[in-house]
Structure 1
Amino acid sequence: MTETPKDPFAAAASFNAGVYGTSIRPVQADRLAEAVRRLLRAAGSEEGEARVVADHLVEANLRGHDSHGVGMLAMYMPAIVAGLLRPNQHATVIGESGPFLSVSGGSGYGQVIAREATDLAIQRARRDGLAVLSLRDSHHIGRVGSYGEQCSDAGLVAMAFVNVVTRPAVAPHDGTRPRLGTNPICIAIPATQATPALILDFATSAVAVGKCRVAMGKGQEMAPGLLLDSHGEATRDPGVMFQDPSGALLPLGGHKGFGLSLMCDVLAGALASAMPGTPAHQDSGRVMNNMFAIVFDPARGGNAQWAADLDDLVAYIRDTPTAPGADAIQMPGEPESRTRGQRLADGIPLDGATLAMLDSLGRECGVELAELLA
């Protein structure tokens, strides 16, 4: 198996396009999911876990979040070999008090652990109207919007704050060196008769580290205003995030994104999990996520007509003159839904570096993937 690099970010960016070149190859979602399942089973996952993780990763690709898609396997597989990611773990309740629920993941696949923990929070919110979830000791949980969708599908509102504990990637506002993680936030609102579910899911950095990896795979520069090099100077080179010493991502919206990122680390790290993103917990080679989430039943929130009021608000917002080049005002989650439909029909576009990574992992695991990826 691929040697575990010192830097987990570098693991996911260490493959070059090789024989695949820089062209984009579309792969159908079901075939890609089967390829990932085979890799995961070969790496020790039981069938159920392989299916959950594979479906989560491919769903991220389908929704246009390639930074959290199948390319993450380049980080996961070496982490298994190093004992930093433990297959076949499940969410374990370690504390309960009133609406509060504490869950540990045993360094297992975050896609499994966070899904199970969210299910526990949903059960409690349905019973009591409210659940306050603290999730700790979980490997990378992937696209946080997935757990928001899990709650909205159950008719519940969710607010989730996540910290990323690994080598820091984001500079504080007015800083030149990385100190924070990309620390995502998700807010999910269930659908009404007139309005699809609203899923707001974003990193508190100006861009995700994974998007730098994707840009490297495509041989592209980043947009201006997103990155600093190791000297604290502005750059468009995504490669600075995978060097030693590394560059830094800028926070989203300057001081506002910095404040949100810090609060994610306070809520999910310092308060919920005893694992803030400080040097004592930044074990290079692993990526841990902790999550603080509030899940509640909107029907018990004091406004029996919340759905009608939500519909009125969304209709008012949609009825806005659009800027040149824009067709319509889009609600949170709509771009992802549209991209999902397109990629289900046309295939998921994979760059040469990602194809090379899957091919390499397959050969190392003794799994033939060429037919599925053709």
Structure 2
Amino acid sequence: MAALAEPQINGPHDDTSDTQTARISIEEATKVCQNALRKAGYSGDHAAIITDHLIDAEMRGHPFAGLARALSIIDLLKSSDMKADKQIEVTRNGPTFAQLDGHDSAGYIVAREATRIAIEKAKAVGVSVVGAENFWYTGNLAYYAEMATKEDLVIFIASNGTPIVAPHGGYEPKFCTNPFCIGFPSGDSTQPVIWDIGTSNIMYAQIKLAERLGSDIPEGSAFDSDGNPTTEPLKALQGALTVWGGHKGSGLAMMIQLLGIAAGSLEPVPFMSGFGFLVLAFDPGMLQPIDQVKQRADMFSNSIRQTKMLPGESPARMPFERSIKSRTEAREKGYITVPRRVIEQLQEQDL
């Protein structure tokens, strides 16, 4: 991906309905983000890779995982001895597997490369497993799953990280928000079925955005260091997030932590370092004709959408439908709505 020329940065478009937010064109937001990341030391290619991921998160309605995350990346680089651009190394490689060492790179770059390799191998031999270690921040796993579903592959992704979530019934952090994702192709490559969840009630990025904007986090999402419920971002960061789904979600989070260990993560995982990322991809065409698989998947999806709903309930939908709708609408409008302070801080990186 070629680096972009230096863009002319303009102010965000006014959104008079809310002085705390601003409308900014997707093109302009992309330039602002790439510029800020290049100023932080990323190459044009790597800045473009990270920005594409963050803009996609914004368009899909996940602002906490969007442009604000670029500021967190820049803050982390400034507050540590980390360097922006690192060489990703393939340490093990075979027809169906690979292992990557990110050498303390941002996970957006490492996970994308791990997924690319997994897709390449699964397309060649039918199945693949790829692990990655030694990185930080993974982003939305759905982003990587969509890379695979476009190639008619089924994909499973798990990632672990720094302990910030307490097991069910506790208040001491033992594992990360530990996202898990499954992607499945459909008859329309632009309408895949992708289930991407974090195993905590809120994500780390939501806390960081709340901290940056001076707002509270939802009740029931965190404890302070003494085990008291808190809605204050700083106290939550010093304490622990609550796990999603009670003991069932807690068990899933623990297993994802172990899958990250299989991928090469350290234990315990240090602060913003030593994460693990595991990808398993396969071609369902090995088991059934691919057209049949996609046709039956579409039949199932349509059946779900036709579910008779209880009074007051919205129509049933398949995972990722809302993201696709939000992204389509953003592209049609040509702009996204972002906290004004986030845009201002990104532009300030240019000063």
The yes-or-no answer on 1:70 pairing with 2:77 is no
User: Aligned residue for 1:275?
Assistant: 266
Query: Are the aligned partners of 1:217 and 1:351 in contact in 2 as well (CA < 8 Å)?
Result: no
In structure 2, C-alpha distance between the alignment counterparts of 1:122 and 1:44, rounded to whole Å: 29
Separation of aligned partners in 2, 1:131 and 1:83: 35
- Name 1:183's counterpart in structure 2: 178
Query: Equivalent residue for 2:134?
Result: 137
Q: Provide the rounded CA distance (Å) in 1 between the counterparts of 2:314 and 2:161.
A: 36
Match status 1:127 vs 2:121: no
In the alignment, residue 299 of structure 1 is paired with which amino acid? Answer: G
Q: Does residue 37 of the first structure (1) align with residue 29 of the second (2)? A: no
Could you tell me whether the CA contact under 8 Å between 2:150 and 2:189 is conserved in 1?
no
Counterpart residue number, 2:320: 333
Supply the distance in 1 between the matched residues of 2:88 and 2:54 (Cα, whole angstroms): 19
Between the aligned partners of 2:157 and 2:180, the Cα distance in structure 1 is: 6
Residue 286 (structure 2) aligned to one of 300, 313, 321: 300
- Call closer, same or farther: CA 1:53–1:328 in 2, change over 3 Å: same
- 1:325-347 CA-to-partner distances (Å, cap 9, x unmatched) read 44421211111112223333163
Deviation at 1:224, TM superposition (A): 3.1
- Determine the C-alpha separation between the residues in 1 that align with 2:224 and 2:310: 34
Shift of 1:83: 5.5
Instruction: Confirm whether residue 291 of structure 1 aligns to residue 277 of structure 2.
Output: yes
The unaligned stretches of length 5 or more in structure 2 are 1-17
User: How far is 1:31 from its partner?
Assistant: 0.5
Q: Any idea what SS the aligned residue of 1:231 has?
A: coil
Letter in 1 for 2:264: S
Alpha-carbon distance, 1:72 to partner: 1.5
Give TM-score scaled by structure 1 length.
0.81
Please name the residue that 2:350 is paired with.
Answer: 362
The residue number in structure 2 matching 1:368 is none
* Residue correspondences, number: 332
Please state how far the C-alpha of 1:100 moved relative to its aligned partner.
Answer: 2.2
Partner SS state of residue 338, structure 1:
helix
CA distance in 2, matches of 1:177, 1:335: 34
Alpha carbons of structure 1 residues 213 and 41: separation in structure 2 relative to 1, 3 Å: closer
Q: Which amino acid aligns with 1:358?
A: L
**Within the alignment, does 1:213 sit opposite 2:208 as a pair?**
yes
Q: Does 1:251 align with 2:248?
A: no
Asked whether the equivalents of residues 85 and 109 of structure 1 are also in contact (C-alpha less than 8 Å), the reply is no
Question: Is the Cα–Cα contact under 8 Å of residues 217 and 352 in structure 1 kept in the other structure?
Answer: no
CA distance in 2, matches of 1:111, 1:42: 18
Q: Percent of aligned pairs with the same residue?
A: 27
- Alignment partner of 2:316: what SS? coil
Cα distance 1:26–1:195, how it changes in 2: closer, same or farther (>3 A)?
A: closer
Q: Is 210-219 or 141-150 further displaced after alignment?
A: 210-219
Q: Is the contact between residue 221 and residue 236 of structure 1 (CA under 8 Å) also seen in structure 2?
A: yes
**Aligned with 1:235: secondary structure?**
coil
Q: Are residue 322 (structure 1) and residue 309 (structure 2) matched?
A: yes
**Cα drift, residue 84 of structure 1:** 5.1
C-alpha change, 1:22 and 1:219, in structure 2 (3 Å) is: farther
The CA RMSD over aligned residues, in Å, is 2.4
- The answer to whether residue 336 in structure 2 is matched with residue 348 in structure 1 is yes
Partners of 2:105 and 2:188 lie apart in 1 by 38
